[in-house]
Amino acid sequence: MSSTKHKKSYFALIDCNNFFASCEQVFNPKLIGKPLVILSSNDGCVISRSKEAKALGIKMGAPLFEYRRWLEEKRIIAISSNFALYGDMSHRVMQTLETFGFPTEIYSIDEAFLTLPELSALECEELAKEVRKKVKKWTGLPVAIGIGLTKTLAKAENEIGKKAGGISVAIDPETIALHLKQLLVSDVWGIGRAGSEFLQKYQIQTAFQFRECEDGWIKKHLTVGGLRTAIELRGTACLDILPEREHSQSITASRSFGRAVTTFLELKEAVATFAGIAAKKLRDQKASASFLSVFIATSRFVPGEGYSNTASLLLPFPTSYTPDISFHAEKALKAIFKEGFAYKKAGIILSQIGSEIEEQLNLWDDGSLKKQRAIYAFDTIAHKYGRKSLFFAAEGIDKSWKSRSSSRSPLFTTSWEEIPLVKI
């Protein structure tokens, strides 16, 4: 019997208002009520604005060098970002939300979804009020709350709530339709710039108009992601609350440089720093990575001759050990570095992340191991330890790999202990 057909549930999206600016205000009450902007690294551009700063018309992402005079004239306070503080505040907010006992998904540094049971609209409102009050009391931060039948609708309600006292609920078809008619497609979660520009050409401007479009047409032009968004807007949930993952899919450490970097040495040092940051993040997750990319780029704002490139490589072993990662990052950097350019940005991306133990076993035990990776691993070991140890381990050759060389195909070896593993 399909009595397991799950009960109806609602979604709430809790979103901190002007998060970074609000965090600063909590710790420095003199900033409350003032036009305030938070700046990115190198104080490059605006990444958060207080309500008052927004009212003065300063745009998200505004570059400081263009607006500095203007900011001074308007007496807007600009301060550098403090991500350690924001991370800590985020943690407190999430902990507060978890005290309500609903399944919770932390969506970003300042947002979380809750799954609610089926309630009346009034009960939803009451609950939202309670959540707002508690978060404000426990953390000092103001939040907006949207409640809807799906995550996308909760997001939409949140947008509306921000402009209407902080809370918006829509769970009946009439209210939903009414609200979606007021919401621009470009403000729908999942519809970005490219999507809304495309829809504009077909005179589709509101979320309501978008959800009325034909499935096949949406899928053809906006892919499955677009279709999922439309289905969610019609009230059918197809994005569930995601369970917490053990580790990230990828880890990035990158920076823009305050001033242009031209030499390999400088770039090498920067990349070594990124390697350290990324490796630490990896270890904090008790994970290791098998794939590494390094990228460098000149300024994207200088027209004409720029240069940017990425080099990727499979690590011989899954690792989270800084010297290993640093060593390979430098190799990758060497492959793409070109003399004569003014580099403005660089970074490292670690991917193919798994738990340490799992990955170590995979390398030798698991038939699902990718061939390319195995060959790479063997070549590297052969290089590092000499062919002898390889032959020693090379029992039980998988026949399907025969076309390669017999010296590097022993995946299903029974004496893998003989191979010295690089320490993680």
Report the site for DNA in 382-401 (rule: CB under 7 A).
400
Interaction between residue 414 and DNA (CB under 7 A)? no
Q: Minimum distance from CB of 41 to DNA (Å)?
A: 4
Taking the C-alpha atoms of residue 80 and residue 87, their distance in angstroms, rounded to an integer, is 15
Q: Which stretch binds DNA (CB under 7 A): 28-36, 107-115, 132-140, 321-329?
A: 107-115
- How many CA within 13 A on the CB side of residue 61? 0
Q: Which stretch binds DNA (CB under 7 A): 123-131, 218-226, 325-333, 356-364?
A: 218-226
- How many CA within 13 A on the CB side of residue 178? 8
Q: How many CB atoms lie within 10 A of CB 359?
A: 21
Report whether 295 contacts 329 (CB < 8 A).
no
Nearer to DNA, 15 or 359 (CB): 15
Q: Which stretch binds DNA (CB under 7 A): 37-45, 169-177, 210-218, 327-335?
A: 37-45
At 48, which helix (H) or strand (E)?
Answer: strand 46-49
Interaction between residue 120 and DNA (CB under 7 A)? no
The tokens describing 135, both together, are 């978060």
Exposure string of 397-408, with b = 16+ CB inside 10 Å and e = fewer, is beeebeeeeeeb
Nearer to DNA, 285 or 389 (CB): 285
At 70, which helix (H) or strand (E)?
Answer: helix 64-73
Interaction between residue 209 and DNA (CB under 7 A)? no
* Near DNA by CB under 7 A: residue from 17, 26, 34, 40: 40
Report the site for DNA in 364-383 (rule: CB under 7 A).
370-372
* Near DNA by CB under 7 A: residue from 155, 179, 211, 408: 155
Q: Minimum distance from CB of 17 to DNA (Å)?
A: 11
Nearer to DNA, 77 or 278 (CB): 278
Interaction between residue 201 and DNA (CB under 7 A)? no
Interaction between residue 41 and DNA (CB under 7 A)? yes
Interaction between residue 157 and DNA (CB under 7 A)? no
The length of the chain is: 424
Number of residues binding to DNA, judged by CB under 7 A:
57
CA-CA-CA-CA dihedral for 59, 62, 65, 67, to nearest 10 = 0
Interaction between residue 344 and DNA (CB under 7 A)? yes
Interaction between residue 255 and DNA (CB under 7 A)? yes
The tokens describing 196, both together, are 């809304």
Nearer to DNA, 52 or 110 (CB): 110
Interaction between residue 407 and DNA (CB under 7 A)? no
Burial of 218 (0-12, 13-18, 19+ CB in 10 A): buried
Nearer to DNA, 283 or 392 (CB): 283
Nearer to DNA, 44 or 142 (CB): 44
Give DSSP secondary structure letters for 208-221.
Answer: HHHHTS-HHHHHHH
Q: Minimum distance from CB of 346 to DNA (Å)?
A: 9
Interaction between residue 151 and DNA (CB under 7 A)? no
Report the site for DNA in 273-312 (rule: CB under 7 A).
277, 281, 299, 301, 310, 312
Interaction between residue 65 and DNA (CB under 7 A)? yes
Q: Which stretch binds DNA (CB under 7 A): 24-32, 121-129, 137-145, 194-202?
A: 194-202
E strand map for 245-379: 250-261, 287-298, 308-319, 343-355
Q: Minimum distance from CB of 149 to DNA (Å)?
A: 18
* Cα dihedral across residues 357, 361, 367, 373: positive or negative: positive
User: Measuring CA to CA, which residue among 133, 112, 126 is closest to residue 15?
Assistant: 112
Q: How many CB atoms lie within 10 A of CB 180?
A: 24
Q: Tell me if residue 260 falls in helix, strand or coil.
A: strand
Binding site for DNA (CB under 7 A): 15, 40-42, 44-45, 47, 60-61, 63-65, 107-111, 155, 188-196, 223-225, 248-260, 277, 281, 299, 301, 310, 312, 314, 344-345, 347, 370-372, 400
